[in-house]
Amino acid sequence: MAEIHKTTMTPTKLELLETWLPTRPWYRGGEGTVPSLEKAGGFRLDDPEGEVGIEFAVVADTSGEEVHSYLVPMTYRGAPLEGAEGALIGTSEHGVLGTRWLYDGVHDPVLLAELTALLQGRAVPQAQSVSDTPDPTVEASFDGTGALDASAAPVVEDGAYGTDVRLGADAPLLLRLARVLDPKATGSRGQVTADWRLPDGEERRGAYVLVFDAA
């Protein structure tokens, strides 16, 4: 089980994301907009090897007239991930663990392996901010047909509404990360559903990850 340290990160995750989010094609702010972010929910998964932190974080952006809630799956590593330079969100000094490399998790094989395990009922979602505590509000479903195998190199494509991850060039299924969260989104073959909250305290629930047949 991952241990959640009550310590500092410099810069903070929100500060790193304020710079990174406007570079994404699914970011809803206008050109030149600086996000104003706050934590809005999420959960964690455990790396069986205990080396990589895995977090499905939701942040709310209040910089515009409309609040947008963004899903950012992140991994935290003690050394750079080879070949993933383009997926680096930034580095931060952790008060206990030292320098941490933060990555957009859709490009990290450890996160993808545990996400597919979650969909297949082989991983237990964990509370976002408490050590050794399962989060029973996170629900995962998959109809069981077709391969969900994260061992092959993924094909990742960012779009205007989310990120599609095909688990290998010829894989029959793809995972869609719903980057701009919408309570109405549903997957045809499966999904991971969890909560988030708006800045005014209103609770929302919907799909973080959706499973579809690959075209």
CA distance 184 to 130: 29
Angle at 197 between CA 212 and CA 113, to 5 degrees: 40
Q: Return d(Cα 56, Cα 163) in angstroms, integer.
A: 14
Q: Which tens digits make up the pLDDT trace of 17-37?
A: 999 999 999 999 877 788 999
- Helix (H) and strand (E) counts for the chain? 2, 12
Tokens of 134: 């399962």
The pLDDT assigned to 185 comes to 82
Average pLDDT over residues 104-132: 94
Higher pLDDT, 71 or 172: 71
**In whole angstroms, what is the distance from residue 54 CA to residue 73 CA?**
7
Residue ranges of domains in the chain: 9-213
**CA angle, 114 then 147 then 181, to 5°:** 55
pLDDT in tens, 41-54: 999 999 999 999 99
Name the pLDDT band for 139 (thresholds 50, 70, 90). very high
Distance CA 135, CA 158 (A): 28
Could you tell me if 149 and 116 are in contact, meaning their C-beta atoms sit under 8 angstroms apart? yes
Task: Answer yes or no: are the C-beta atoms of 121 and 128 closer than 8 Å.
Answer: no
Arithmetic mean of pLDDT over the chain: 92
In this structure, how many other beta carbons lie within 10 angstroms of the beta carbon of residue 98?
A: 9
120 vs 141: CA distance, rounded Å: 7
DSSP, collapsed to helix, strand or coil, labels residue 81 as coil
170: helix, strand or coil: coil
